[in-house]
Amino acid sequence: MVDAAIRVSDDLLKKYETVSNATVLGALAKRGYMKVFMYGVQSLSPGRRLVGRAVTLRYLPSRPDLQEHVTRGGHGEGFNETPRWDALEALMPGDVLVADCMGLSMTSTGGDVVFSRILSQKAAGLVTDGGVRDGHKVAQYGYPVYGGGSTPTIGEPNVLPYEVNEPVACGTVLVWPGDVILGDEDGVVVLPSQLAEEIYDECVHHDEIEAAILWHTQREGISPKFFYPFNEETEKIYAAWKNR
C-alpha cells in the first residue's frame, strides 16, 4: 500500500459540495495541475453532486491462469473473495469507490447487487472509467454514479480486479488513495488531498466574484466582458454584491 495521503475531514468535504468544479480546475491549473479532469467518465445519475475521498480499485486485462491468483477462497466455498470485495468493504462514509478499468467503457466493473454494498456502507458514490452493469438500477440507489456507460455485460471475461488502495489511472487521470473526488453534470475532477484545504477559500472567493458579475450584469443589462480578467471594477461590484 502507498503512503497514507492527508485525510480530508468530513467538514471540508461538506464545504466542497457548493464549490464549482470549473473553479477547482482553475485553482489547480494555477499550481501546475493540468491533468485532473477525467475523460470518458460521465454521470449516470444526473442531478447528484459527488464529493468524497477516493478508495481505489485497479483492474487488469483478464488471463485464465491468473483468475485463481486474484480469486481467493472461491472454490467450493460459495463466494469469491476478490480485491473488488476488499475495496467495497474498505469503504466508509465520505468515501468514493474509484475503479480503474483501463478506459474499457462497456466492460462491467460491477452491477446492482455488487454496488448495493456502496449503499449499505453509506459511502459517497461510485466512479469508474469502465461500464456499470444495469447502471439504471444502480442509479436508483440514490448515490452519485459516474462511469463510461451502462452495460448489460459482465466484466470477468475481459478484466480482473487486482489491487486496492494503490495509485490508479481512471479516466486518464492519476488518482491517489484519499484524493478528493468531485463530480457534477460536467464530469469528474480529482483534487489532490494535500491541496484541498489550501485552495478552498480561493475557490469560494472566485465563485462569489462570478456570482457578483452575473448579478450586476443581469441587473444592468451590460456585458460581463468589462470585468474579465478581474479588475478594479470587478472588485467594486463584488463589494456591492456582498453588501446588497
- Residues 3-32 have a mean pLDDT of 93
149 and 231 part of one domain:
no
Q: What is the pLDDT of residue 82?
A: 86
CATH number at residue 102: 3.50.30.40
227 and 161 part of one domain:
no
The three cell numbers locating residue 140: 436508483
Confidence of residue 15 (pLDDT cuts 50, 70, 90): very high
49 and 161 part of one domain:
yes
Q: Which of 4-18, 131-145, 180-194, 195-209 has the lowest mean pLDDT?
A: 4-18
**H or E stretch at 42:** strand 42-43
Q: What is the pLDDT of residue 171?
A: 98
Domain range for 102 is 10-193
4 is a domain residue:
no
Instruction: Say which residues have a Cβ less than 8 Å from residue 119's Cβ, sequence separation at least 6.
Output: 141, 142, 143
Tell me the C-alpha distance between 104 and 106, whole Å. 6
14 and 50 part of one domain:
yes
Tell me the C-alpha distance between 10 and 108, whole Å. 30
The three cell numbers locating residue 48: 447528484
Q: What is the pLDDT of residue 73?
A: 46
Q: What is the pLDDT of residue 71?
A: 66
